[in-house]
Structure 1
Amino acid sequence: MDVILKDDVANIGHKNDVVRVKNGYGRNYLLPKGLAILATPSAMKVHEENMRQRAHKEEKIKNNALEMATKMEGLTLTVGAKTSTTGKIFGSVNTIQIAEALEKAGYSVERKHISIKEDQVKEIGSYVATVKLHREVKVEVNFDVVAE
Structure 2
Amino acid sequence: MAKRIRIKLLMDKPGMGQAGDVVEVKPGFMRNELYPKGVAEYVIVYTGPRNRQAEAEQVAEQAREKAIKSGQLDPSIHRDLYIRLRAKADRIESLSAIEFVRPRIRPNDSAIFGSVSADDILNQLRSEYQVELDPNSIEIERIKALGQYTCQIQIPHLGKFPLKVKVKAPQA
Q: Please state which band the TM-score falls in when normalised by the shorter chain.
A: 0.5 to 0.7
Query: Which of these residues, 112, 117, 129, is aligned with residue 136 of structure 2?
Result: 112
**Is the 8 Å Cα contact of residues 80 and 145 (structure 1) preserved in structure 2?**
yes
SS of alignment partner, residue 94 of structure 2 = coil
Query: Would you say the 8 A contact 1:91–1:122 is kept in 2?
Result: yes
- Counterpart residue number, 2:103: 82
The corresponding residue for 2:166 is 144
CA positional deviation for 1:56:
5.2
1:1-20 matches, within 5 Å, as: none
In structure 1, C-alpha distance between the alignment counterparts of 2:112 and 2:92, rounded to whole Å: 27
Shift of residue 63, structure 1, vs aligned partner:
3.0
CA deviation map 1:70-125 (0-9, x unaligned): 22213110122232221211232110111111112221123221111xx4421111
Match of 2:117 among 62, 87, 94: 94
Structure 1 residue aligned with 2:91: 71
Given that 1:77 and 1:143 are in contact with CA atoms closer than 8 Å, whether structure 2 keeps it comes out as: yes
Relative contact order (alpha carbons < 8 A, sep ≥ 6): 1 or 2 greater? 1
Match of 2:80 among 40, 46, 60: 60
Identity of aligned residues (%): 20
1:130 Cα offset (Å): 1.1
Gaps of 5+ in 1: 1-53
Give me the CA root mean square deviation.
Answer: 2.2
Q: Which of these residues, 148, 155, 159, is aligned with residue 126 of structure 1? A: 148
SS in 2 for 1:127: strand
Say whether the 8 Å CA contact 1:131–1:138 is kept in structure 2: yes
Superposed structure 1 runs of 4+ greater than 3 Å apart: none
Q: Unaligned regions of 5+ residues in structure 2, if any?
A: 1-74
The count of residues paired between Structure 1 and Structure 2 equals: 92
Kindly provide the amino acid, as one letter, of the partner of residue 162 in structure 2.
E
Please state how far the C-alpha of 1:141 moved relative to its aligned partner. Answer: 1.0
